Amino acid sequence: MSHAAPEAYAPMTRAILAKLGYTILLPEEFETIAGEAGLERPAVRIVDERQIAELPDEFDAVPVVVLTGRHGVSGVDPRIVGAIKRPAGMHELYRLVQQVTEDTPRATPRVPTHLPARCCKDGKEWASTVLSLSENGCLVRSPEPLPLGTQLEIEFELPRSGAIRLEAETAYQLLPDMGLIFQATEARDRESIVRFVTQVLMR
């Protein structure tokens, strides 16, 4: 269910997500079909941060994804599971809704990891941890704040492949961690990640 204006979404985001099986409805649209479909409540609420106070209390158990500015959200509201920078793009929203609603999320396989990593931005380096990994991105736990839209480099080591250094952008929050999307990944590095993911899945 969407509690956000149409301009809070990137063009075609809602239409493409509907084709992928994630129909985003306005509250009045949900009420119309809920009885027919036997739905008591939505699976997820997508809420513009400026409308958080308007959420009805009876839906406290429904996970909330916030559409926000680049500074993300604080996590004070226990209903909030993640955040995406406005306007919400299809890829970022798909990834986050998958993580929240699916037992085995994503069309592109992602595997849980615990890989030591180094992040670098503007000449500053710090240790972090890659908690999950796919060929397109990773979930990272960082002691340093990473505002949404931040461009950085991340380096980690894969068994049998050695060190991989990638350019990335923070695309979403999965509290308390940050989702990175890899940018301009070289074919060799992408193949190394795919090989690693496949090996983990085959264990």
Give a yes or no: residue 94 inside a domain.
yes
Quote the pTM value: 0.65
Confidence of residue 75 (pLDDT cuts 50, 70, 90): low
End position of a domain, from candidates 101, 125, 146 = 101
Reply yes or no on whether the pLDDT at 107 is more than 60.
no
End position of a domain, from candidates 80, 101, 122 = 101
Average pLDDT, stretch 97-110? 75
Two tokens, residue 113: 């990891």
Q: Identify whether residues 45 and 122 lie together within a single domain.
A: no
Q: Identify whether residues 13 and 96 lie together within a single domain.
A: yes
Average pLDDT, stretch 52-67? 79
Give the pairing type, strands 177-183 and 162-174.
Answer: antiparallel
Q: Identify whether residues 8 and 88 lie together within a single domain.
A: yes
Residue 27: CATH number of its domain: 3.40.50
Confidence of residue 105 (pLDDT cuts 50, 70, 90): low
Separation between Cα atoms, residue 29 and residue 123, nearest integer Å: 49
198 burial level (CB within 10 Å; 0-12, 13-18, 19+)? exposed
Q: Identify whether residues 15 and 48 lie together within a single domain.
A: yes
Reply yes or no on whether the pLDDT at 20 is more than 90.
no
Give a yes or no: residue 48 inside a domain.
yes
Average pLDDT, stretch 28-32? 89
Give a yes or no: residue 177 inside a domain.
yes
Q: What is the pLDDT of residue 164?
A: 96
For the chain, the domain total comes to 2
End position of a domain, from candidates 101, 125, 158 = 101
Give a yes or no: residue 184 inside a domain.
yes
Q: Identify whether residues 77 and 157 lie together within a single domain.
A: no
Reply yes or no on whether the pLDDT at 150 is more than 80.
yes
Q: Identify whether residues 95 and 136 lie together within a single domain.
A: no
Q: What is the pLDDT of residue 111?
A: 86
Separation between Cα atoms, residue 73 and residue 120, nearest integer Å: 23
The DSSP secondary-structure symbol of 71 reads T
Q: Identify whether residues 85 and 145 lie together within a single domain.
A: no
Q: Identify whether residues 145 and 95 lie together within a single domain.
A: no
Give a yes or no: residue 106 inside a domain.
no
Confidence of residue 25 (pLDDT cuts 50, 70, 90): very high
Confidence of residue 157 (pLDDT cuts 50, 70, 90): very high
Q: Identify whether residues 117 and 97 lie together within a single domain.
A: no
pLDDT in tens, 77-96: 788 889 999 999 887 898 88
Residue 119: CATH number of its domain: 2.40.10.220
Q: Where in the sequence is the domain holding 177, given as residue range(s)?
A: 111-201
Q: Identify whether residues 44 and 120 lie together within a single domain.
A: no
Give a yes or no: residue 196 inside a domain.
yes
